[in-house]
Amino acid sequence: MTCLWRSWLAVLFLAIASACKAQDAPLINTKASDAPTETRATVDAPDGPLSSGDEKIDTLLDRLEARGKSVPGLKSKLTYTHVIVDPVESRKVKEGELLFARAEPNYRFYVHFDRHIADGVVSRSGEYFAFDGRWLIERNDRAKNVIKRELAREGQYRDPFKLGEGPFPLPFGQRRGDMLKNFRVSLEPFAIGDPLQTDHLRCVPRPGTDLAKRYSRVDIYIDRRIDLPVRIVTENLKDGNRIEVDFKDISTGEAPAASRFAIEEPKDYDIRIERLDDSPEDGAAP
């Protein structure tokens, strides 16, 4: 399992955490057209944030930013699909659940996959990913191992998802200005296969940014009824392979208890610990 896969799993999950409960504000509901609405320029608004040059896109970005400031907790079913395009398109699918909690000094998240589909064959084996505000923890039951990576010291605030700074380049729930500095954004027309009742933002990394070295595009599908992303797609610049993540049965409200974010470490599993500023070590958890 590559570091890229692990990073984007965390990134895509936190994309959902960037939104909050639907409110009574007007919904964005654009009609399909023959061509997408593109950001033709990025301009500085007087005494305000950067503008895409398109009011509808600016409104969507502002709403996503606002949601990210208030959601206390979230639960959802999760489907993760790795699409390999060459030589013949194939799909590997993982299904499971995710949890998110707003906490101090750092957010928490938890992902558990228990169903895998490849070449039409269904298998069950546990994969777990959790960030408890300090440690990013991975457990693979098939490999019988646990990897713990320290991202923050005890009590230290760190935003690992800020564009251009953290290890997880999260392009959602960010300030509109940060998004537009890093992406050219267009509002795409509805296409067959898109989630119903969604607005589709296509985000193309700007030349010279770190994201432009890895991704050719990031697609965000925002459900108009609940103001939450329900599908996110990333396309790898190098080979065109895609990661498609779908979120279903989303519920927001009280943050799950801290105990829900713990991952058990079986005694017979190999455990690897990677501390900040230290080389990896093997042995028991600290």
- Per-residue pLDDT of 4-19, as tens digits, reads 444 444 444 444 333 3
Assess whether pLDDT exceeds 50 at residue 259.
Answer: yes
| Sign of torsion over alpha carbons 231, 1, 150, 205 | negative
Higher pLDDT, residue 129 or 286: 129
pLDDT of 59 above 80: yes
Q: What is the pLDDT of residue 209?
A: 86
Q: Does residue 161 have a pLDDT over 90?
A: no
* Predicted pLDDT at 280: 53
Helix, coil or strand: residue 175: coil
User: Which residues are CB-neighbours of 49 under 8 A, at least 6 positions away?
Assistant: 175, 176, 177
Q: How confident is the model at residue 21 (pLDDT cuts 50, 70, 90)?
A: very low
Residue bearing the bigger pLDDT, 175 or 154: 154
Check whether 27 has a pLDDT greater than 60.
Answer: no
Domain around 211: 3-282
| Whole-angstrom distance, CA of residue 282 vs CA of residue 117 | 32
Quick check: 202 and 222 in contact, CB under 8 A? no
pLDDT score, position 249: 92
pLDDT > 70? residue 257 = yes
CA–CA dist 184, 172 (Å, integer): 14
Q: Sort residue 155 into left (φ over 0), alpha (ψ -120 to 50) or beta.
A: left
The segment with the largest mean pLDDT, out of 131-135, 177-181, 203-207, 210-214, is 203-207
* CATH assignment of the domain containing 140: 2.50.20.10
Of 40 and 91, the one with more pLDDT? 91
CA distances from 189 to 41, 53, 54, 197, 220 (A): 20, 18, 15, 12, 13
pLDDT digit string (tens) for 191-214?
Answer: 999 999 999 999 999 999 888 988
pLDDT interval class at 157 (50, 70, 90): confident
Given a cut of 80, is residue 273 above it in pLDDT? yes
pLDDT at 48: 63
User: Could you tell me which of 176, 181, 167, 243 has the C-alpha nearest to residue 212?
Assistant: 181
Number of domains, the chain: 1
CB 93 within 8 A of CB 114: no
pLDDT band at 32 (very low <50, low <70, confident <90, very high): very low
Q: Is the dihedral of CA 65, 214, 109, 151 positive or negative?
A: negative
